[in-house]
Amino acid sequence: MNVDIQYYKEQLASKEDMLVRTASYLLEAQTKLELKNKELSEIHEEIFDSIRFARLIQTSFLPNTDVLKVFLKDASFFVKQQIGIGGDLVFSKNTGHGLVFGLLDSTGHGIPASMLSIAGSLFIQEITSTMQIDSPAALAKLLNYQLYSTFNKTELSLAHMEGSVFYYCSRTGKLKYSSAKGKAIYLPLNGAITELPASKDPVGQSPESVFDEVEIPFVSGDKLLIYSDGLVDQFGGPSDKKYNRKRLLDLVEQNRHSSVAELKEIIEFEHNQWKGDNTQTDDVSFLIIEL
C-alpha cells in the first residue's frame, strides 16, 4: 500500500514538474511570438509607409484636368491601383498645336508595374518635349522603341504596355488615335456607341510592332471613354464573375447623355458595387473626354 502511495506521489511530482516546464516553455514562446509580431508589425508599417510615399510620387505624374479643359470641352479620370501603386497610367501633354492624351496599362502589378508606369510617363514627357509630335502613331512607335530598347533587349516581352494614344489638333480641329491593344468607347452625341478598333501589338513588345492611325470625325458634345482591363475584369456580382465589356457598354449606353462628371461617378459607383467585399482584381483606371 505504502509502495503504491509513494509511486503515485512520484508520478504526481513528475507531472507537476512537467507542467511547470511546459508552462515556462509556453511563456517563453509567447514572449518570443509577441516580439516577432511587434517586429512584423513595424516592418509592415514601414512597407506601407513606403507604398504611401511611392503613391504620392506616382500620383504626381497624373495630368491636370484644367489643362485638358483648355483644349477639350470637359475631361475627368479615375485611377485606383490595386495596392495603392501599380501600372495604370493616364497622361496628357500639350504640344505646339494641340494635345496628346491617353491611357496605358503596364505589365504586372504593384511595385514593378509602378516603376514601369513612371518610366513610361518620363519617356512620354521626353518624347513630347524634344520633338513636335502631331501623330499618335508616331508617339506610340517612339514609346515602343524606348520601352523595348530599355527593358526588352535580352528578353522579349519583359515589360510592355497596352492602351490608346490620342492627338487633338486645336488648329485643324481634328482628332486622331492609335491603339496598342487599347480599350476605348466612342459616344457620339447622336448615333450608336462603338468600341474603337485596337491593334494586336502592345507597346514595347517588339521593334517590329505596327501601330495604325485613325482619324475620328466628331461633333461638339461627343465623348470618349478610355479604360484599362481592371474595369471589366473585376470579379463580383451575385455569381462572383467578371464584370465584362458587355455590362460596361450597356451602362454607358444607359447614361450616354450624362455629363462627364456624372458618368465618372456612375462608372465608379458601379465598379464598387460589383466588387462588393471582393479584393480588387487589377489596377483600375478610366479617362472620360468630351469633345
Name the grid cell of 74.
470637359
13 and 92 part of one domain: no
Q: What is residue 192's DSSP assignment?
A: -
Regarding whether 133 and 219 lie in a shared domain, the answer is yes
Query: pLDDT at residue 48 above 70?
Result: no
Top pLDDT among 210 and 155 is at 210
**Average pLDDT for residues 179-199, to the nearest whole number?**
93
Do 25 and 76 reside in the same domain of the chain? no
Q: What is the CATH number of the domain that holds 182?
A: 3.60.40.10
Q: Which of 182, 271, 287, 264 is nearest to 229 (CA)?
A: 182
Domains in the chain, number: 2
User: What is the C-alpha separation between 6 and 220, in angstroms, rounded?
Assistant: 102
**Shared domain check, 56 and 66:** no
In 95-148, where do the E strands start and end? 98-106
- Whether residues 15 and 118 share a domain: the answer is no
Same domain, 175 and 265: yes
Pair (31, 130) in one structural domain = no
Coil, strand, or helix at residue 285? strand
d(CA 270, CA 248): 9
C-beta neighbour count of 231 within 10 angstroms: 26
Are 120 and 155 members of one domain? yes
Distance CA 48, CA 209 (A): 38
Quick one: 200 and 211 in the same domain? yes
Q: How far apart are CA 288 and CA 291, in angstroms?
A: 10
**What is the C-alpha separation between 223 and 237, in angstroms, rounded?**
28
Query: pLDDT tens-digit profile of 58-95?
Result: 888 899 998 889 899 999 999 999 988 889 999 999 88
Structural domain boundaries enclosing 18: 1-60
Model pTM?
A: 0.83
* Residue with cell string 518624347: 127
- Of 39 and 235, the structure prediction assigns the larger pLDDT to 235
